Structures are given as structure tokens and as C-alpha cells.
Amino acid sequence: MNMQNSSKIPSGQKYQIQKSQGIICSGSSLTAIALVVASSLTFMPGCSREVEWVSPYKGIDWDNVLQAKAQLHTHTTRSDGYFSPNYVVDRYHELGYDILAITDHWLVTYPWQEFSSFSPSSRTYVRRDEGELDALEHGDVFVYADRDPGALGMLAIRGSEPSHTGRRNHHMVSLFAGVSGEGMDFEQTLAANEEAGGLISFAHPARSTERNNNEPDDYIYYFDKYPHVYGIDIFTRATFREPDRWPISKNLISRLLMHYGSPDAPGWRPVWMTATDDLHRLEDIDQAYQVQLVDRLDHENVYNSLKNGAFFWVAKAPGKQAPVISSIDFSGSAITVNGTGYDHVSWYFDNKLVHTGEKFDFFENGSEEMFYVYFLAHTSDFSVERGQGALTGSQPFWIVKK
């Protein structure tokens, strides 16, 4: 089934990505791109070519890795959210989140221990005066109280959403840097974040504002110029409300992956898929997030997991449990997904469904044109249009043929 027009899913190192090897009888040679060789060759009679898996999941110690639940795009009444910073923290803490970034528009709402020194925005007071907040408790909106992330067992990430609009401009999620973008143009913000050692992802590219102002070539320009731009949203909670965003996001990411090609291609770079709540109202919560694969819950490990793509992304209806991926096994030309909570595993290349099942073997299920796949592990009822079910998605697994 071709999934391009359907949201019902059927049954100096820059990047620390690893590879494993198998055999194929056609293809091209691999050049060194700061990749780690992770397994030995397997030889097949009559063949002199190899296939190598390049993946952020290769080399992970699945028995000991921490799968940390992360929300990296939220808003409070400091900008255009509906709740105070401490209220937002408390709600995510109750839902078992390990990592949280508050990313108010043009503001850095950080550190959590200084929430009480911040104030609600003028927009929040206008909403109050117009009666828009009448159904909410005053304290949940206007009373700011400090929070200690360590006492909560959470990791607080410094963040902001520089909210540039206009031709070739884009809302972005700025992490690990105190760069709000206020008073800067778009590229100044990107450069300042890079200078501060931060990371950037492009927020909700399928929203009409971003979609009307940017072409695929614009994204390619920024991904080429700024290596700290690590990813782009494939799903946000608004995707359930506006289902057309789902095929648009998948198609855009496919075009980026097809542009950059295989890791042996000149100018190759990874593009990671992200998912966020972009929380404003309470009903937005816990519908799109990431699972960071880290050795320890600290800033360095989370930073590296984002930069290197060592995470899954999740899309789920409210109240549903997301599928859990317990491990990914590499064996020659095959990848096997192990986990719980899903009914199907669907594999994609170039925005087309190419295989279903927990095991993907390039020799049995692939084709000569393929140079990457990624999977969606999902419940049988997952549907964006109906707002139901749950899905956990992977990052790409690149196929390098020698």
C-alpha cells in the first residue's frame, strides 16, 4: 500500500553513527565519514560486494540504556501558553517525563529555580480581561513558583522558540543555548545558537505559516550551512487536529533524505525526525514526544543523543500507551525490531511502504534503488484522521552498498 496520501497505517566527528555489514552484489564504495565499524563481514559465494547499515542505534547497550521520555517544545503564560511554568512542569512530571524544555516564544524561561522571578505576558492579561481564562484557576495561570528539577528527578533543558516568520524564515526550537532570537534576524539567530553550542530543530514545518514560506531547497540550504540544525518535526499534537500535516511532513522529510542520499555521497548529512507537543493548552499534552537513548540523565548525554539521532519519536492519541522498542538487532543484511505495545511494524523508503514485519532483510525485502529505511511500530487502529491509536517511529537506517 502506498502511504503517500494516507494516514491510516497498514499491517572532528560531526555525528557518532555506527554501521554493520552484510553482502550484496552491486553498489558503490563507502568513504569515511566519522562512522564506527561495528561488526565483521559475512561472505556469500559468488558475491564480492557488501552492504553496510549506518544507524544511530548500532552499538547501543540495550540491556542498560536509559530510555528517557522527553518533551522539548512547550509554552507557558510567559508567552502564549495558558498555564504557568511550574504548572507545566508539574503536569509533565505527573506523566512520567524525564526531560523537559520550556520553549516560550522569544523568551528563555530558565532556570526552573527562578520561575518566581518571571511574569505573565501582556497577552495573558488581555486573555483574562476578555474572559478567555474564566474556566481556569487563577493560580494555575498567574502564580509563578520555583521548581527544582533534581528533586523531581527530571532534567531541565534550557530552551526557547525563536518565532521568525516571512520568506525563508521558520519557527525553530532552540535548545542548550540562552538564545531567544529577540532582536535578531533568522540567520543571526541560527548563528548565535551555534556560537553558544546549542542545537536547533525546525518546528511544525507542515503548518501553513512555515509551508507557505519555505521550499525544500530552503531547508537544504540551512541544513547544509548549519550542522547544529539536527532535526525537523514529523509530528506534533496539532497533526491530529489538522491531519493534512501528516502526509506533508512525511513527504518533506522524504525529499530531504532523498536529497542527501547515502553516507558515501558527497555532502551527505543525517536529518533526524522529531516529535513534540508544542503545548499551549492542557489538552495538548502527551501526544507527541521523544524517547532519548542515554547512558545517564544529564545534559551531555541528552545533547549527544539528539545530535547523533539516538532517539525514537512518538505520536499517540490522548490516554493511549505508546509502543516500546526494547532493542534493535543487526545481523548482516537484516535488522530486527523487538518491543511491545504494537501490532505492526511498517518499513518505509522514499515515503513508500516497502515491507511489514519486525525483521527487515535487505536481500529479501529491499531493492537496488533503496539506500535507507525507517520503521513505524504502531497499533492497528492508528489513524491521524480519527485521532486514535499510537505509533513509535525510528530514525533512518542507511544502506551503503560496496
The CA R_g of the chain, rounded to the nearest whole Å, is 21
In a domain, 338, yes or no: yes
Q: If you average pLDDT over residues 349-356, what whole number do you get?
A: 98
Q: Which of 23-37, 217-231, 370-384 has the lowest mean pLDDT?
A: 23-37
Is the confidence at residue 328, as pLDDT, over 60? Answer: yes
pLDDT, mean of residues 379-390 = 98
Give CA–CA dist 158/102, Å, rounded. 7
Q: Is residue 234 part of a domain?
A: yes
Does 178 fall in a domain?
yes
Quote the number of domains for the chain. Answer: 1
Q: How far apart are CA 81 and CA 20, in angstroms?
A: 45
Q: By mean pLDDT, which of 5-19, 62-76, 162-176 is the weakest?
A: 5-19
With 60 as the cut, is the pLDDT of residue 394 above it? yes
Burial state string for 287-312 with b = 16 or more CB within 10 A and e = fewer than 16 = bbbbbbbbeeeeeebbbebbbbbbbb
CATH number at residue 293: 3.20.20.140
Q: What backbone phi and psi angles, to 5 degrees, belong to 2?
A: -80, 120
132 within some domain: yes
- Give yes or no for a contact between 26 and 360, defined as CB atoms under 8 angstroms apart: no
Secondary structure (3-state) at 17: strand
Confirm whether 247 is domain-assigned.
Answer: yes
pLDDT, tens digit (0-9, with 9 covering 90-100), for 53-81: 999 999 999 999 999 999 999 999 999 99
Q: Does 38 fall in a domain?
A: no
pTM: 0.90
The answer to whether residue 7 is domain-embedded is no
Per the CB < 8 A criterion, the answer to whether 320 and 289 are in contact is no
Which of 7-11, 82-86, 327-331 is predicted with the least confidence, judged by mean pLDDT?
A: 7-11
Mean pLDDT rounded to a whole number for the chain: 91
Residue 311 belongs to some domain of the structure: yes
Expressed as residue numbers, the domain containing 291 is 62-397
pLDDT confidence tier of residue 402, bands split at 50, 70 and 90: confident
Question: What confidence tier does 38 reach under pLDDT thresholds 50, 70, 90?
Answer: very low
